[in-house]
Amino acid sequence: MMARITVYLTGSIAAYKGVEVVRGLQKRGHQVRTVMTAAACRLVTPATLAALTKQPVLTSLWDDNDPIPHIALADWTELALVVPASADILAKMALGLADDAASTALLATSAPKVVVPAMNSHMWQAPATQRNLQQLQSDGVTVISPVDGMLAEGYAGKGRMPEPAAIVDQVQSLLAPAGQLAGKRVVVTAGGTREPIDPVRFIGNRSSGKMGIAIAAAAAAAGARVTLITGQVSVPLPTSPLVTNVRVETTEDLLGAVQDSFAAADALVMAAAVADYRPQNVANQKVKKRAGQAKWQLDLTETTDILKTVARHKRPGQLVVGFAAETQQLLANAQRKLEEKGADLIVANSVAGSRGAFGSEENQVTLLQTGRQPEQWPRMKKTAVAAKLVETLAEKMKSGD
In a domain, 216, yes or no: yes
Q: Which of 174, 204, 239 is the last residue of a domain?
A: 174
Host domain of residue 255:
185-399
89 burial (CB, 10 Å; 0-12 / 13-18 / 19+) is buried
- Cis amide bond preceding 84, omega within 30: yes
- What's the CA gap between 194 and 390, in Å, rounded? 28
In a domain, 180, yes or no: no
List the CATH number of the domain containing 45.
3.40.50.1950
In a domain, 179, yes or no: no
Q: Looking at the structure, tell me whether residues 163 and 240 fall in a common domain.
A: no
Q: Looking at the structure, tell me whether residues 138 and 194 fall in a common domain.
A: no
Q: Looking at the structure, tell me whether residues 119 and 228 fall in a common domain.
A: no
Is 286 annotated to bind a ligand? Reply is yes
Q: How many domains does the chain have?
A: 2
List the CATH number of the domain containing 329.
3.40.50.10300
Residue 255 makes CB contacts below 8 A (sequence gap 6+) with 304, 306, 309
**What would the pLDDT profile of 117-159 be if each residue is shown by its tens digit?**
999 999 999 999 999 999 999 899 999 989 888 777 888 888 8
Is 288 annotated to bind a ligand? Reply is no
Q: Looking at the structure, tell me whether residues 164 and 300 fall in a common domain.
A: no
- The pLDDT value recorded for residue 356 is 54
In a domain, 84, yes or no: yes
Q: Which of 174, 195, 222 is the last residue of a domain?
A: 174
Q: Which residue stretches of the chain have pLDDT < 50?
A: none
- Residue in 120, 132, 205, 349 annotated catalytic: 205
- The pLDDT value recorded for residue 5 is 96
- What's the CA gap between 46 and 57, in Å, rounded? 6
In a domain, 162, yes or no: yes
Residue 133 makes CB contacts below 8 A (sequence gap 6+) with 90, 94, 117, 143
- The pLDDT value recorded for residue 353 is 63
- The pLDDT value recorded for residue 241 is 78
- The pLDDT value recorded for residue 33 is 97
Is 17 annotated to bind a ligand? Reply is no
- The pLDDT value recorded for residue 279 is 93
Residue 205 falls in the annotated catalytic set: yes
